[in-house]
Amino acid sequence: MTVEQARTELFAAHLLASTGFAAQTVALAFRAALAAARGALLELDRVPPAEPAAVVAAFVRHVVAERGLDPDAGRGLRSLLGRAELADSPVPVPPEEGPAAIGDATAVVDAVDAWLTHSDFVSIARSVGMPTRPKPPRRKR
């Protein structure tokens, strides 16, 4: 899935939240964030695992820890995983949890989108020979 698809999922989550379906909103918000995480892993040529918990672990390791994505994105995705598991249980989900999950999922999707945009810029710059970081000034001798 791509960030575009993740944004579509977020839109659907907003619709569910506006009609009072808190558990379904949480599940769809997690699905949106998970789609963005899978897209980031694919960008690194890593095949995302099938299990959501394994995707979260791979995302945190390879995208957050190794590639420097904001750690809040990893924490948000982990939090959404836990809330999605609770939403799948018979325990009722409080109505305010839906909008909170949408907020967290939006933050994850936005962070991944920004990271992918920067990654694309870096790849393009490297392919045309542009420096991706300014060179430090040379010392005069």
In a domain, 138, yes or no: no
One-letter amino acid at 112 equals V
Identify residue 77 by its one-letter amino acid code.
L
| 79 domain residue, yes or no | yes
Q: Which residue type, as a one-letter code, is found at position 101?
A: A
> Has residue 132 got a pLDDT over 50?
no
- CATH number of the structural domain spanning residue 97: 1.20.120.330
Q: Is residue 37 part of a domain?
A: yes
108, part of any domain = yes
Q: How far apart are CA 66 and CA 87, in angstroms?
A: 31
Range of the domain at 120: 3-127
Please report the pLDDT score of residue 4 as a whole number: 93
Span 16-25, average pLDDT? 94
Q: Which of 85, 69, 82, 84 is nearest to 36 (CA)?
A: 69
Please report whether residue 141 resides in a domain. Answer: no
CB of 6 within 8 A of CB of 35? yes
Mean pLDDT of all residues in 60-71: 93
pLDDT for the residue numbered 131: 46
**Has residue 71 been placed in a domain?**
yes
For residue 13, give both structure tokens: 């989550």
- Out of 40-44, 73-77, 104-108, least confident range: 40-44
Q: What confidence score (pLDDT) does residue 2 get?
A: 83
Number of domains in the chain: 1
Q: What's the maximum distance between 2 C-alpha atoms anywhere in the chain? A: 73
Question: Whole-prediction pTM value?
Answer: 0.83
Which pLDDT band holds residue 119 (cuts at 50, 70, 90)?
A: confident
